[in-house]
Structure 1
Amino acid sequence: MIYHIDYVSEGLHVKGYLGLPPQLPRSSAHEMSKAFNAIHGVSIIGTLACSLNKDTIREGFSGSTAPKLPLVLYCRGGIGRIGAVRLKWVEEFAAQGYAVFAPAYRGNEGGEGRDEFGGADTMDVISAIEWLSRISWIDNSRIHLLGFSRGAINAAVAAALSPHVSKMILWSGVSDLAQTYEERIDLRRMMKRVIGGTPTKFPERYLLRSPIHYAARIRCPVLIVHGTRDEQVLVEHSYRMLDKLQEQGHQPEAHLYEGLGHHFPPPQHAAAINRMFDWLKK
């Protein structure tokens, strides 16, 4: 089951999606959903049924009551309708036995405010971590971040600022937004409009949207996933992030997929998810 959530971030009503493992007994999922009523500023505004086939679902939750669930907070890529939350991903991650939350970011899907492409919208992730960490059935020792593409910015900022983050995955992630500006001519007009100008005019605004800037403040283990033929976010972004983390004394892991692009074909995508969750469960 996926719940469509309205929550408050810095006084703004923003949207997100919460997925629960399909292995859960329906009665347990119903009891879990009641916990939202006790959290100020958080409400369920709709539900969506899970559409996964049984082969995708990992076994678990054989008892009558579910244990505390680990959480993956999935930070979407893109901006606006481009790169919107992939509900199939929420389902696939939840099928691994995790609760999954995906912020849509402010200004998207009817949410208030304005998506700043890794600016103030990063607080939508941190705000979500704060209220999710107060839910009784979330395991506070296993709150993980996954940042895809531009979502790597939101994930890295949250990992640097929130004490609740246990592990972080950066999948096909941007590491230096000024580098992205140089590489993606097709995105320059949007970036100048949203950020206010070019990297030359506002270098600090681009720096504050670059995960490599936060490497020294990230305390959790990091996994980097990237296809070597990615044309939307070049794999060099991940190489730079790996180097920066290592300079800071981290021992990041990398799952690099030879010949794959920004989005993986279904068989490789499924295998990458299983491998990624095996890393989370170590």
Structure 2
Amino acid sequence: MPLKILRRSLPNWGWGYGPPGEGPFPAIVLLHGSEGSRSGMIYRTAAVLAAHGFPAMAFPYSNGKNSGDIIEVPLDSTAEALSSLRAWSIVGTKVGLYGSSRGAEHALLLASLMSRDDVAGLPDAIAVHTPPDVICGAFNSRMWRDAGDPGWRPWDPADRAWNWRGSSNELLPTTPIEIERFNGPIFLSHGTKDATWSVEMTYRLRDRLKRHGRAPEVHLYEGEGHSVNSDIENQHNEQLIDFFGRHLS
């Protein structure tokens, strides 16, 4: 029986899943959270999107394997990855961007900087789950502590997660992410009982976008935490497919 979902690879880029055939298809770049690209979580989402007609490629941006570190990650590399995906022969004219948790931060920050600096190749639509509304500090997987641990401490401004065009000086922790600079469709989702990154951050993103005349699509999952149960994950995936189907077609 022929496969309905194929593993797809881009040389020097990464891999994901897509439908059979040569397209052209609308495609999506996926950005993992602090769990890292090797955890498999982001590839699960990629497979679901692929089953609905999207080549969905997970970009492994963190430093190292497994959870890896998010320390001085060059956002320029992700902008280049978007351009490489657009140039792929099976990809049509539109490319989306999806991220969860630190991947959501990554997606929103990248889009804001590309918009500000008029960089070509902006994503045509962005969806994020459990996003922050500010830049967060560097993530060291060997030293991570949750907020309930006595070893927890606030972000050190010297420990920076991201850089852009070779510098992290303007990407200090707690700096607001200026996502209102991005003029395309935006999907925001969050569990209302998220104890890792508060849903208040999505409320602030929503309100910030509305103040600037944007109309984000917002989905709140009542009683859910940073991770969601199976039923809500299925609902979330249906909403993602609908969102990207409308805006990348």
Interval of TM-score (by shorter of Structure 1 and Structure 2): 0.7 to 0.9
Q: Which has the larger radius of gyration?
A: 1
Residues 222 and 253, structure 1, Cα contact 8 Å, conserved in 2: yes
Match of 2:191 among 200, 223, 227: 227
- Aligned residue pairs total 220
How do 1:1-282 and structure 2 match up within 5 A? 1-3=6-8, 5-7=10-12, 16-21=14-19, 24=20, 28=21, 66-78=22-34, 80=36, 86-109=42-65, 115-117=69-71, 119-140=72-93, 142-160=94-112, 161=114, 162=119, 163-177=121-135, 184=147, 192=156, 195=159, 204-207=171-174, 212-282=176-246
| Counterparts of 1:191 and 1:148, CA distance in 2 | 20
1:46 maps to none
User: 1:191 and 1:4 mapped to 2: Cα distance?
Assistant: 36
Unmatched 5+ residue regions in structure 2?
1-5, 140-145, 162-168
Secondary structure of the residue aligned to 1:216 is helix
How big is each residue's C-alpha offset from its partner over 1:159-183, in whole Å with a ceiling of 9 and x where there is no partner?
Answer: 23154311111111122246999x9
Do 1:68 and 1:138's aligned partners in 2 also have CA atoms closer than 8 Å?
yes
Using the TM superposition, give the Cα deviation of residue 132 of structure 1 relative to its aligned residue in structure 2, in angstroms: 0.9
Q: Give the CA deviation at 1:95.
A: 1.1
How large is the RMSD of aligned CA atoms in angstroms?
3.3
Distance in 1, matches of 2:196 and 2:24, equals 37
Aligned mates of 1:109, 1:139 — CA distance in 2: 31
SS at match of 2:61: coil
Corresponding residue for 1:40?
none
**Alpha-carbon distance in 1 for matches of 2:132, 2:215:** 19
* Aligned residue number for residue 45 of structure 1: none
Q: What is the SS of the residue equivalent to 1:132? A: helix
Question: Does the 8 Å contact 1:122/1:158 carry over to 2?
Answer: yes
Structure 1 residue 5, shift from structure 2 partner: 4.9
TM-score if structure 1 supplies the norm length?
0.67
Q: Cα–Cα, structure 1 residues 175 and 83, in superposed 2: closer, same or farther, change >3 Å?
A: farther
Deviation at 1:74, TM superposition (A): 0.8
Paired with 1:188 and 1:102, the residues of 2 have a C-alpha distance of 30
Q: Are 2:70 and 2:138, in contact at CA under 8 Å, matched by a contact in 1?
A: no
| CA offset digits 1:195-227 (Å, max 9, x no partner) | 269xxxx885115xx5x4222321211110111
Which residue identity is paired with 1:260? Answer: E
Structure 1 gaps of 5+ residues are: 8-14, 29-65
Displacement of 1:99 after TM fit?
0.6
Consecutive aligned runs of 4 or more in structure 1 exceeding 3 Å deviation: 3-6, 79-85, 114-117, 177-181, 183-194
Structure richer in helix, relative to its length: 1
Q: Secondary structure in 1 aligned to 2:73?
A: coil
Q: CA deviation at 1:191?
A: 5.3
In 2, the alpha carbon distance for the partners of 1:256 and 1:86 equals: 20
For residue 263 of structure 1, report the CA deviation from its aligned partner: 1.6
* Match of residue 34 from structure 1: none
Q: Which amino acid aligns with 1:131?
A: S
Q: Distance in 2 between matches of 1:216 and 1:171?
A: 17
- Describe the shift of the 1:79–1:121 C-alpha distance in structure 2 as closer, same or farther (beyond 3 A): farther
The residue type equivalent to 1:206 in the other structure is P
Matched residue type, 1:159: A
The Cα of 1:269 is off from its aligned counterpart by 0.7
Deviation at 1:272, TM superposition (A): 1.4
2:3 matched residue in structure 1: none
